[in-house]
Structure 1
Amino acid sequence: MARSKEFDVDDVLGKAMDIFWRQGYEKTSMQDLVAGMGIHKRSMYDTFGDKHTLYLKAVERYAEGFAARNYGPLEAAPTVKEAIRRLFEAVVYREASQPKGCLLVNSAVELSVHDPEVADRVNEAFFRTEQLLEQLITKGQASGELTAALPAAALAACLHNALVGLRVMVKTTADKDKLQSVVDTTLAVLG
């Protein structure tokens, strides 16, 4: 008869995600993971496989959480501009308990060049965000709220690039005024 897990899989995956987010893949040892997750090494291997597989699951969890935290509230925004602003400001005004920056961006910089599986996960998440931006821009252009001087896809790509850059900036500065200025200037392209 199989033994039931003596830990909550989702909870320990969240702990692993946090460790990878704070330290990166290469700097995170198996001992860091075992200690931080609060489980035995054997249990980690039995449940998640090797470090790389655990990392991929952590990246997927992060992407799902980012979307859940940030995409859902956009529907309640009174305007398209406000929805896009909320997406950008969620990066600037994140919870203080969260590590700085973005696990997806960290993964892209650290691993994507030589790890196609990580690159696929990152590109998929980035594509979803860019797609969301394009949908919002298309809606705003159709209603006349946003400029139609540029194609929605081009504006979405530009905004997504700025959003990724903002995710990097939050790692390097605590100057909220500067970050807010970047958001305001970026969103000025919307008309």
Structure 2
Amino acid sequence: MKEKRTGRPREFDRDEALSAAMHVFWKQGYDGASMKDLTAAMNISGPSLYGVFGDKRQLFMEAIDFYANRKACKPLEVFETEPDIETAVRKFFYEVVEYSTMSISGAKGCFLSSCVATVSGELVGVEALLKRAIFDTDERLARRFELEKARGVLPDTFPSKIRARLMFDLRQGLVFRARAGIEPKYLLADIESNVGIILG
């Protein structure tokens, strides 16, 4: 008689599974993501999902952490790695428009605003994670501005934290407009003005 196998798959990769689950939630929303959809995307069985991640809510919470802690947001990545600050700000907004309108997977915009924020008041613990992710994003943006101040590229009087929050809010506005179906050409037309607002 064959021994029944339980628990996680032999070749299980937690990060890959979380990334797959995150994209299902991102595309379909928390309520719209069924366990069948999640297990299929993660390539694991139902018992394995429960054994490793607990229930659907806990998987969602881990997906939020994964997104926030693995630098999963492309606009932030390009902003932190592009050497020239003006180009970095410009690329940040271009990436926002691209991932909000041109995603092949169907997951549009920022995971936090497109999916997580919609259930913030409904699922226990999500609001706290969302706040932390927003504050962490503000800090990452502000750190880059502070670095440019230390290099002498930006003036000492540049309000790094205020501009960081404004940059985040402008991003959210672009995402909102994109999800409403506004064409990319109209969103792209505002980028130069946004760059001027942030660095002016």
TM-score (norm 1): 0.81
1:34 matches 2:39: yes
Distance between the aligned counterparts of 1:186 and 1:147, measured in 2?
A: 19
**CA 1:73–1:112 in structure 2 vs 1: closer, same or farther (change >3 Å)?**
same
Matches within 5 A, 1:1-191: 5-8=9-12, 9-67=14-72, 69-94=74-99, 96-98=103-105, 99-141=107-149, 145-146=153-154, 151-173=159-181, 175-189=183-197, 190-191=199-200
Counterpart contact for 2:73–2:110, Cα < 8 Å: no
Shift of 1:147: 6.6
- My pick for the range that moved more, 136-145 or 30-39, is 136-145
Counting aligned pairs with the same residue, the percent is: 28
**CA 1:101–1:80 in structure 2 vs 1: closer, same or farther (change >3 Å)?**
same
Shift of 1:19: 0.9
Counterpart contact for 1:101–1:169, Cα < 8 Å: no
**Alpha-carbon displacement from aligned partner over 1:22-78 (angstroms, at most 9, x marks no partner):** 111112222322333332211110011000000011122222344574445445423
Shift of 1:84: 2.1
TM-score (norm 2): 0.78
In structure 2, what residue type is equivalent to 1:127?
F
Shift of 1:168: 2.6
Distance between the aligned counterparts of 2:176 and 2:20, measured in 1?
A: 22
In structure 1, what residue type is equivalent to 2:137?
T
The number of equivalent residue pairs is 191
Unaligned runs of 5+ in 1: none
Counterpart contact for 2:75–2:96, Cα < 8 Å: no
Q: CA RMSD in A?
A: 2.9
Distance between the aligned counterparts of 2:155 and 2:185, measured in 1?
A: 26
In structure 2, what residue type is equivalent to 1:96?
S
Distance between the aligned counterparts of 2:158 and 2:176, measured in 1?
A: 26
